[in-house]
Amino acid sequence: MKKTIFLGIVGVLITYMLITVYSGPETNTSIMIRFGATVLAGVYVGFLAVAYILPIFTDKVSDMVFSDNTRTAEPDSLSSARGLVAQGEYEAAIIEYNKSIEKEPDNRLAWTDVAKIYADKLDQPQQAVATYRNAYDNYEWSDEDAAFFLFRISEWQLDELSDRDAGIASLEEVRAAFPETRHSANATNQLRQLGVEPTVQAPHIPDIN
């Protein structure tokens, strides 16, 4: 929330600066200032695209990749819940999603939608984390789905909750749960970007029993 407010203030200031420099007389100095202001605005817009638009696009792609395409055609069990979301009835939508989860706990899309409501609509990222934590801890998932939950947990802990220690612990959990996989490699890379040297993992010994 604080980050959103800060970015909004920066956007207003940049907009004001653009209006000011372009409304003044055109001189050699003003041309240089206009160029600098335009570059700054472009950087700001680019940052917003990477920070907000790209994750949304990534989520959509992930949902397409990880959705179960083998199911026979049947009425969408999530349609009523999504209808409530469209109407802004978020608490009611969560109740409908939970009904669907009780019947079909391995439906990752239901868990994902609930977490997004908490994080994006109700401004409760801690509840989004708890939703994914519940899914991860209490149900069986493929490696892809399980890693997805842990990475999103870490993302919210770091960005929305400003809980660096918890975010790092979640990334370490990925490395421990999926050693010698691309998930572990991705978690290692993220840890190093945070300035943390990952713990040394014991060699993976295949189970021959």
| pLDDT value of position 2 | 59
**For the segment 9-63, what is each residue's pLDDT rounded down to a tens digit?**
877 788 877 788 787 777 777 778 878 878 887 887 777 676 666 656 655 555 5
For residue 173, the tally of other CB atoms under 10 A from its CB is 16
The pTM assigned to this predicted structure is: 0.61
- How far lies 153's CA from each of 25, 37, 146, 147, 150, in Å? 51, 37, 11, 10, 5
**For the segment 89-103, what is each residue's pLDDT rounded down to a tens digit?**
999 999 999 999 999
Range 78-88 average pLDDT: 94
Select the more confidently predicted residue: 54 or 204: 54
- How far lies 92's CA from each of 95, 98, 178, in Å? 5, 10, 36
Q: Taking the CA of residue 73 as centre, how many other CA atoms within 13 Å lie in the half-sphere pointing to its CB?
A: 0
Contact (Cβ atoms closer than 8 angstroms) between residue 1 and residue 161: no
The one-letter amino acid at 169: A
| pLDDT value of position 57 | 61
**For the segment 137-190, what is each residue's pLDDT rounded down to a tens digit?**
999 999 999 999 999 999 999 999 999 999 999 999 999 999 999 999 999 999
